[in-house]
Amino acid sequence: MGKIVLKQVRKSFGDVHVIPSVDLTIENGEFVVFVGPSGCGKSTLLRLIAGLEDTSSGTIEIDGKDATMLPPAKRGLAMVFQSYALYPHMTVRKNIMFPLKMAGMDPEAATKKADAAAKVLNLTNYMERKPGQLSGGQRQRVAIGRAIVREPAAFLFDEPLSNLDAALRGNMRLEITELHQTLKTTMIYVTHDQVEAMTMADKIVVLQAGNIEQVGSPLELYNHPANAFVAGFIGSPRMNLLEGADAAAVGAKTIGVRPEHLEISTTAGQWKGTVAVAELLGSDTFLHVNVEGHGTMTVRGGGDVNLRHGDTVYLTPQAGKTHRFGQDGKALV
Amino acid sequence: MATQSSRATARLMLAPSVIMLFVWMIVPLAMTIWFSFRIYRLLSPDRTGWAGIRNYTWFFNSPDFWLGISNTLLLVGGVLAITIIFGVLIALLIDQPVWGQGPLRILVISPFFVMPPVAASIWKNLFMHPQNGLLASAAQGLGMEPILFLQSYPLGSIIFITSWEWLPFATLILLTALQSLSSEQLEAAEMDGASALSRFRFITLPHMTRAITVVILIQTIFLLSIFGEIFTTTQGGPGSASTTLPYMIYKQALIAKDIGRAAAGGIIAVILANIVAVFLMRSMGKHLDT
């Protein structure tokens, strides 16, 4: 159930090679997140797996069988769309039952299944409503319900939370993670939000311009980014990437220090700068510091850091927490 | 924002146009009702006075009356059926990405720009004419007798010509409805295992119901008063085979020159239109909500 293998998958639209060549194995039961900046081909990759786009070359195997040429319905996958793509003229129950109806299941059994799915998703009281009468979070759950009833080999999520407000997004994030723990089904989740990637994934796939930059667990990516791109993309606020003499001193083209790995001092340190903006979050303080010769660096301090715009600070990287990158952007070990 | 005084102001500001529209509607209607109970014949202007309900009874007893009503409804129903069915199909077709889509769409829409009498003349003289018509020569080329369209199938021919004129309108409205359907819904249905036919039946068609309702309502209004096509082609004949209610009214007003009877026919037409309107709103009004 639910092992997906991509072999040299390529996708071109005319002369534009959206995905030059991708090899990837997704194990059964894994929660895999495709993450990358917009236009990096992560949605295209998902649509290739779903069968909504045809591959230009390469093969896609699902459960050990070649599914490259199979139509979407035959692949046994379920997808949750960014816009939810609920059927507006059908009630919630009919929406959830639609895939069962299409599979020719007898209506009574289908109703029973839809009700069971609704119970899991707290939708029981809304079954007779139309999607237009639901809130964003409820619509999201209906879309998930429609995916669950099919008992797919894998779930595909295409930026499912990007239309929700911040608080709801946090809740739905938890719900989807819990759902994965309950169902233990393979899930592939596309997002541009690295926080979602870090919090939900068993395995993160970082994409840029259609190429896989790095595959690994969230902490692997955080602690050992393979290159400067991954280093800058994973982690929030972004890692500070510095070039010049400081980098050359350790034999690298670029060095990276995460904001949380910089010591703040008002008296002495490696780099001197002035605070441009101080963001006080209560638990943390984010300082945006103009450092001579390096531009703006971001520093994360505790909630008790009492610095304001214009104050002079000294920054020092913690020992052993500096990442070094070579001429080609790859990490130096 | 809607305080007492702002509502009052709004009513005051709207009043002139409401009054204007009301007068615009009520004066001709009142005059028609008035004439329909009068003796008013242009050929004998000396005879005036009240006719009672004789103008109406003349209509009801006329041998053509029920034929006229049924022809009117057949014309409306036939054109609606043809334009909706083919409108949906053509809209589906020209919604596909094809080379030259823009010019193609303009070509599809162009019959709507042809005036009804011109369109009818074209069909009568260039296509359906038994000697010079294209269809006749096509039939002869195949070794068959030319079909006398306007003599053998007068109402059918008129329904066809009118459908040709109105098909672009239906197509245009239905095409815009089709274009507003989100592709993600169709993809979701595809993932859910719906075949192309099921996707049309369960997703596309329900999405288009409102547009179809609009097409039906608007076309009905115009089709109830179709006149030019009949006048140009069959003159209501042969006999009265293609006479409709508007055509009967025309014959009373401009051939028999009996304004009283024509007015009575007009009132009957208004009542018929209202019956149709109530029927349509009852059966389809719910599709226009939300």
**Average pLDDT of B243-251?**
89
- A67 and A165, same domain (yes or no): yes
Question: Which one of A230, A255, A275 terminates a domain?
Answer: A230
Q: Show which of A230, A258, A274 is a domain's final residue.
A: A230
Q: Taking a C-beta distance cutoff of 8 angstroms, is the pair A270, A316 a contact?
A: yes
Say yes or no: A93 and A190 in one domain. Answer: yes
Task: Tell me: pLDDT of B278 over 70.
Answer: yes
Judgement on whether residues A259 and A211 belong to the same structural domain of the protein: no
Judge if A226 and A246 occupy the same domain: no
Cβ distance of B187 and A81 shorter than 8 Å? yes
Q: Flag if A52 and B187 touch (Cβ within 8 Å).
A: yes
Q: Do A73 and B198 make contact, defined as CB atoms within 8 angstroms?
A: no
**Average confidence (pLDDT) over B14-39:** 92
From B181's Cα to the closest Cα of chain A, the distance in A is 10
| CA–CA dist B112, A89 (Å, integer) | 32
**Alpha carbon separation from B19 to A307, B26, B31 (Å, rounded):** 71, 10, 18
Cis peptide before B28 (omega within 30 of 0): no
Tell me if A83 and B207 make a contact (CB, 8 A cut-off).
no
- Specify if A235 maps to a domain: no
Give the domain CATH number at A142.
3.40.50.300
- Inter-chain residue contact A98 with B290, CB threshold 8 Å: no
Predicted pLDDT at B133: 83
Per-residue pLDDT, B240: 83
Per-residue pLDDT reduced to its tens digit, B35-61: 988 888 888 888 888 888 888 888 888
Q: Quick one: pLDDT at residue A302?
A: 86
- Provide, as residue numbers in chain B, all residues whose Cβ is less than 8 Å from the Cβ of A43: none
Interchain contact B205–A (C-beta under 8 A)? no
Q: What is the pLDDT of residues A13-46, one digit of tens each?
A: 888 888 888 899 999 999 999 998 888 888 899 9
Highest mean pLDDT among A37-46, A106-115, B76-85: B76-85
My answer on whether A154 and A214 are in the same domain is yes
Mean predicted lDDT score pLDDT of chain A: 89
* Complete DSSP assignment for B150-190: HHHSHHHHHHHHHHHHHHHHHHHHHHHHHHTS-HHHHHHHH
List of chain A residues whose C-beta atoms are within 8 Å of the C-beta of residue B198: 102
B2 burial class (0-12, 13-18, 19+ CB within 10 angstroms)? exposed
A186 and A264 part of one domain? no
Is A255 found in the same domain as A197? no
Average pLDDT over residues B174-198: 89
Same domain, yes or no: A178 and A283: no
A300 and A273 share one domain: yes
Residue A1: pLDDT band (50, 70, 90) is: low
Q: What confidence score (pLDDT) does residue A151 get?
A: 87
Specify the number of domains making up chain A: 2
Domain ranges of chain B: 65-242
Mean pLDDT of B82-110: 89
A111 belongs to a structural domain: yes
Across A325-333, average pLDDT: 85
Identify the DSSP state of B15.
H
Class of the CATH domain delimited by B65-242: mainly alpha
Q: How far apart are CA A94 and CA A130, in angstroms?
A: 9
Same domain, A58 and A184: yes
Which of the residues B184, B192, B200 would you substitute to probe the A interface, choosing the one with the greatest number of A C-beta atoms within 10 Å? Answer: B192
Query: What distance, in Å, lies between the first and last C-alpha atoms of chain B?
Result: 23
Q: A52 to chain B: nearest residue by CA?
A: B187
Task: Provide the pLDDT for residue B1.
Answer: 58
- The residue among A230, A257, A285 that closes a domain is A230
| Minimal Cβ distance to B182: which of A73, A83, A132 | A83
Question: Does the distance separating the beta carbons of B206 and A87 come in below 8 Å?
Answer: yes
Q: What is the pLDDT of residue B112?
A: 87
**Residue A280's domain is classified under what CATH number?**
2.40.50.140
Interface contact flag, A102 B190, Cβ < 8 Å: no
Let me know whether A48 and A109 are in one domain.
Answer: yes
- Residues sharing a CB contact under 8 Å with residue A59, sequence separation 6 or more, in sequence order: A6, A7, A8, A9, A66, A68
Which one has a higher pLDDT value, A120 or A216?
A216
- What mean pLDDT comes out for the span A206-219? 91
For tokens 């079954």, the residue is: A127
A125-178, pLDDT tens digit by residue? 888 999 988 888 889 889 999 998 988 889 999 988 888 888 888 888 998 999
State the pLDDT confidence band at A249, using cuts at 50, 70 and 90.
Answer: confident
Domain of A157? Answer: 4-230
Q: Is the domain of A306 the same as that of A194?
A: no
**How would residue B289 be classed by pLDDT, with cut points 50, 70 and 90?**
low
B290 pLDDT higher than 60: no
Query: Is the pLDDT assigned to residue B286 strictly greater than 80?
Result: no
- Mutation target to probe the B interface, by most B beta carbons within 10 A, among A13, A84, A98 is A98
pLDDT grade for A194, boundaries at 50, 70 and 90: confident
pLDDT of A275 > 60? The answer is yes
Q: Which residue of A has its CA nearest to B184?
A: A85
- Mean pLDDT along residues A183-190: 92
Q: Which structure tokens are listed for B51? A: 């006719």
